[in-house]
Structure 1
Amino acid sequence: MTAGGRPAIVVAATPTSNGDLHVGHMAGPYLAGDVYSRYLAATGRPVIYTTCTDDSQSYVITTAHRKGVPPERLCATSTEAIERTLTAMGISMAGLPPIDDRYRETVREFFTALHQAGRLRLRTVRLPYANGAFLYDGLLTGTCPVCLGGSSGGVCEGCGHPNNFDELLDPRSTLDPDAPVTFREQTILVLPMEEYRDRLTGYFAAREGRWRPHGMQLIRELLDRPLPDIPVTFPGTWGVAAPFPETPGQILYPWVEAMPAVMYSTWWSAAQRGERAETADEHWRAEHGAELVYFHGFDNVYHWGLLDLVLLMAHGDRYVLPEVNVCNEFYELEGQKFSTSRDHLIWTADLLAEVPRDLVRFHLALTAPEYQRTDFSVAALREVTTRRLVEPWNALADALWLVSAGAGDAPLPTSETGRRRAELLIERVRLGYELPSLTRVADTIAGRLDGLAEEAAAATDGDPAALGDLFLQVRALLACAAPILIDVAAEAADAGVDLGLTAAQPAEIDAFTLPRLRTADVGETTGVRAGA
């Protein structure tokens, strides 16, 4: 992920439109993708950061059933809530594109091309069936055939392995657990993943060092087994109608929509800033050489890491392939998984209504579940952000204000030593952004605050170069923090502070003031809480 003018497409896992985003969601792909996108933009790279709602998922059906509302209404209200939350968090997307006729046309064209190229195969499979409907994904619950844990259909959230068709043990209907489940044969279209084994092996061998260990371990486990057929069509009623004569009345399997869906959302996002393209897949075409990066959770490694990769490979060399999948673990709430059904959660929107979003972004970055499960609590947010961020940051801001008041209007010279110290900080933070690792970046920023606050407090009206070096290092710190602390960064940028990460350190710098951070007073007189 080197700097330069190469375009980048950053994709966050498509949220299911069956509810809003809680803090666990936000601490995963959405904040990480946003920070990485902002970092790339600060280095001068053209970036599109995008996602779209996953309206075809069966979890829309199950949630709508539980709430007693039509699925269409649930999709609409959930999409509005998700978009409000992304905006409130400062996520740098153009918005959520409409799931309209152009969307459905894009999805169908993607699979029609595979059908015409002979990539799809007819298979007769056994499918679970209850109450007049075939069961799949969220419509089905049972026991994972790999880890023997509880699992929905399609993929196990715990171990990450897929369980297609009749593989789930002890299957039960989610909508009616008491209904007897039988199996019926159906002929569907599939994409045989095994036919792409050689290309997959070479792909992962070239990128193994760039994946986080847990996700790559799952990929190795999957490649050590016969690779499954990817369902492309399915006998269902909720989703995009399959356009193939061999499978009348079937839908496109919801999980295969992701690739054409995010191609469409990339096209739509580019159009919002005035970029026009004749086809929705234009930005993903291989000849443009975009850097493609996915952000998602461990439970989506099979889908985003393998299934979707094969869908791209099946188009030959038409599309760019992802350079890395950034996979996070689960973010827990006071020692337990976030759970909507148990009301054990904190909605992101509720937290942002009580806590300045720079503090929320910093705390989620510092405690992000990058390599193992981590834990969120309101008490920890209050204590950690106060001690590690707000107090030293504001001490630095106050000391710098006093220094700037006596610095005069003329630019201050900087020394070679000061420029080198600023470059070292930027280089250290750059390594964290390019891994990417929010935890490393947030920790580095917090670790440098105390030292700069002490230097600013000890500064006098003496050597102008010493003052220039101080402002230069603070500017470097602010530029490094800008992708996370977006509000203080915007305030500083509006005041004329250069927050770019592309140019060499200047020989002189104007004095400036550092915006202060607002404090958080949450969990005492507010409604933010954990659990029921």
Structure 2
Amino acid sequence: MSERAKRRAVVVAATPTPNGDLHIGHMAGPYLAGDVYSRYLAADGRDVIYTTVTDDSQTYVTTTAHRLGVPPGELCATATEQIGRTISAMGLSMRGLPPVDERYRAAVREFFTRLHAADRLRPRTVRLPYAEESGRYLYDGLMTGACPECLAASSGGVCEGCGHPNNAGELLAPRSVLEPGSPVTTREATILVLPMEEYRERLTAYFAERLPRWRPHAAQLVRELLARPLPEIPVTVPGEWGVEAPFPETPGQILYPWVEAMPAVMYATWWSAAQEGAAPAEADALWRAETGTELVYFHGFDNVYHWGLLDLVLLMAHGDRYVLPEANISNEFYDLEGEKFSTSRDHLIRSADLLAEVPRDLVRFYLALTAPEYQRTNFQTAALTEVTARRLTGPWQRLAEALDTLVPAGAATPLPTTAEGRARAAGVVARFRLGYELEAFSLGRSAELVAVTVERLATAAGPARAGADPHAAGDLLLQVRALLACAAPLLVDTAAKAAAAGVELALNAPQPEKITPFTLPRLPGAERAGTHRTEVAA
């Protein structure tokens, strides 16, 4: 067993804001990708925890609750339940969503109390946007304006378009979201910050080693940010919704919502381990440097600054206490019928709604095939039906029927395989590994390889059925088994049927000289997908 194979892996999907359910744009991004990578590691014999936790403190909870006319806590509870059901419906290999309770908040406060005790935090008197009518300081989703970097419309905190941060009063022409007509001025406030510039040397060394694994757009943003003075990370803000800041210098303030992510997912890792009866005593134990944990993040481009730099510095500020992420896999935006997903305009398809109409394996395959990995891509309802039928279910059913003819029902006598057949099956696995490993991880290429391999094997099944070669059936079955094992991270229900029938799906299993006959589970069709309507509010 290699040293890497002995390491536990912790895979983290960006923490979802509980201001609504997950739509398919979310799912085609970090959530499906993190699940596929986690399932690949598990199939390779790795100990892996795939986790996330709702980001309850985000300002987008309060703005959405205000728009809907409900208390923020009620919105959090409702949305968290919806998100949990969607995670289960999509077949994500998470243990569930951890409760955001007092134990969670204690873990968050302890993370920052430790930094405070080590004198890592600095008091700063800054001028913050201030809504005069309500007397509310504005930050993140509480304000809109123009990005000082690219001049596009932006919320506070970070620009969704170019990815650059805009702290404190940097947003141009700020307006209040909750009181659009309120005059916005600036007022002084003393907050605690973590100076990112103090970690430049360590950041430079880190990215020199790991940035080659990043996707080009995200890597470009990191280089842009490193080429200029690095911002100071707000650790506290004068706000009303969030975790109370436990510092005497900032009475009445809360922890800045974006800094919660690191202790939050540490807690989520601990909670996930607890569901398996294997939780250590301390919430951050599985992230300690001595564990050698392989840590991987999956998130969208608009979170590159937060997950790629801000959260990294939060780990570094604890000295050598924690492991650092091996890679950040980021995605671009996923459009719906040519337009950006919009919850406020109801221009979306919720994952749960799509899964109620279309079999899960087909949804996972199509979202993977069209995933926005390197550029924006587009979901089209009609294309889901046409593409899955033509590229997946059609050739899959042809292959299954050919195998039924080639190997009589109920046959149990192991079939011989050849050295060439074993080499071909091993080659299938090796090819899939290229798209599953971190160096070039790609949902799209993996889904494409599933389609190409199914078509090739369906075509090869004809000559094998008609020929007199006694090894043809065994060699074909060996490759089909390799296909099932390699497609399993995507086609979870089909893989489960095959495994229940006794088909070996471990990716590190040897290619045998004899193989026991099996039938290929059928894929369901997606006939109802074409009837799905997307409603766009006027």
**TM-score calculated relative to the size of structure 2:** 0.97
Shift of 1:448: 1.2
2:506 alignment partner in structure 1: 500
Instruction: Give distance in 2, aligned partners of 1:2 and 1:385.
Output: 39
1:256 alignment partner in structure 2: 259
Instruction: Give distance in 1, aligned partners of 2:420 and 2:299.
Output: 41
Q: Which amino acid aligns with 2:425?
A: A
2:36 alignment partner in structure 1: 35
Instruction: Give distance in 2, aligned partners of 1:428 and 1:372.
Output: 24
Shift of 1:523: 4.7
Shift of 1:504: 2.0
Structure 1, residues 479-524: CA drift from partner, whole Å, max 9, x if none?
A: 0000000001000000000000012211110010000000002355
2:94 alignment partner in structure 1: 93
2:241 to 235, 238, 244: 238
1:138 to 131, 136, 141: 141
Q: Which amino acid aligns with 2:456?
A: G
Q: Which amino acid aligns with 1:322?
A: P
Instruction: Give distance in 2, aligned partners of 1:234 and 1:408.
Output: 69
Q: Identify which range, 397-406 or 412-421, moves more after superposition.
A: 397-406
Instruction: Give distance in 1, aligned partners of 2:327 and 2:411.
Output: 48
Shift of 1:457: 2.7
Question: Residue 375 of structure 1 aligns to a residue in which SS?
Answer: strand
Q: How many residues align?
A: 531
Q: Which amino acid aligns with 1:521?
A: E
Shift of 1:467: 1.1
**TM-score calculated relative to the size of structure 1:** 0.98
Are the counterparts in 2 of residues 309 and 321 from structure 1 also a CA contact under 8 Å?
yes
Are the counterparts in 2 of residues 404 and 511 from structure 1 also a CA contact under 8 Å?
yes
2:462 to 451, 457, 466: 457
2:356 alignment partner in structure 1: 353
Are the counterparts in 2 of residues 351 and 528 from structure 1 also a CA contact under 8 Å?
no
Tell me, yes or no, if structure 1 residue 444 matches structure 2 residue 449. Answer: yes
Instruction: Give distance in 1, aligned partners of 2:509 and 2:299.
Output: 32
Q: Which amino acid aligns with 2:25?
A: G
Instruction: Give distance in 2, aligned partners of 1:530 and 1:182.
Output: 39
Instruction: Give distance in 2, aligned partners of 1:221 and 1:177.
Output: 33
Q: Which amino acid aligns with 1:5?
A: K
1:224 alignment partner in structure 2: 227
Shift of 1:126: 0.2
Are the counterparts in 1 of residues 24 and 351 from structure 2 also a CA contact under 8 Å?
yes
1:52 alignment partner in structure 2: 53
Question: Residue 344 of structure 2 aligns to a residue in which SS?
Answer: coil
Q: Which amino acid aligns with 2:372?
A: P
Shift of 1:407: 8.5
2:327 to 324, 337, 360: 324
Unmatched segments (≥5 aa) in structure 1: none
1:293 to 277, 290, 296: 296
Are the counterparts in 1 of residues 149 and 164 from structure 2 also a CA contact under 8 Å?
yes
1:270 to 270, 273, 295: 273
Shift of 1:406: 6.8
Q: Which amino acid aligns with 2:517?
A: A
Q: Which amino acid aligns with 1:482?
A: A
Instruction: Give distance in 1, aligned partners of 2:499 and 2:409.
Output: 22
Q: Which amino acid aligns with 2:178?
A: L
Are the counterparts in 2 of residues 350 and 528 from structure 1 also a CA contact under 8 Å?
no
**How do 1:70-219 residues align onto structure 2 when only pairs under 5 Å count?**
70-130=71-131, 131-219=134-222
Question: Residue 114 of structure 2 aligns to a residue in which SS?
Answer: helix
Instruction: Give distance in 1, aligned partners of 2:481 and 2:63.
Output: 51
Shift of 1:459: 2.5
Instruction: Give distance in 1, aligned partners of 2:535 and 2:8.
Output: 41
Are the counterparts in 2 of residues 3 and 40 from structure 1 also a CA contact under 8 Å?
no
The 3 A distance-change label for structure 1 pair 357 and 518 is same
Question: Residue 405 of structure 1 aligns to a residue in which SS?
Answer: coil
2:70 alignment partner in structure 1: 69
Instruction: Give distance in 1, aligned partners of 2:405 and 2:86.
Output: 38
Instruction: Give distance in 1, aligned partners of 2:215 and 2:265.
Output: 23
Shift of 1:343: 1.5
**How do 1:365-380 residues align onto structure 2 when only pairs under 5 Å count?**
365-380=368-383
Q: Which amino acid aligns with 2:450?
A: I
Shift of 1:458: 2.8
Instruction: Give distance in 2, aligned partners of 1:307 and 1:253.
Output: 12
Shift of 1:527: 4.5
1:473 to 479, 488, 492: 479
Instruction: Give distance in 1, aligned partners of 2:87 and 2:35.
Output: 10
Are the counterparts in 2 of residues 190 and 229 from structure 1 also a CA contact under 8 Å?
yes
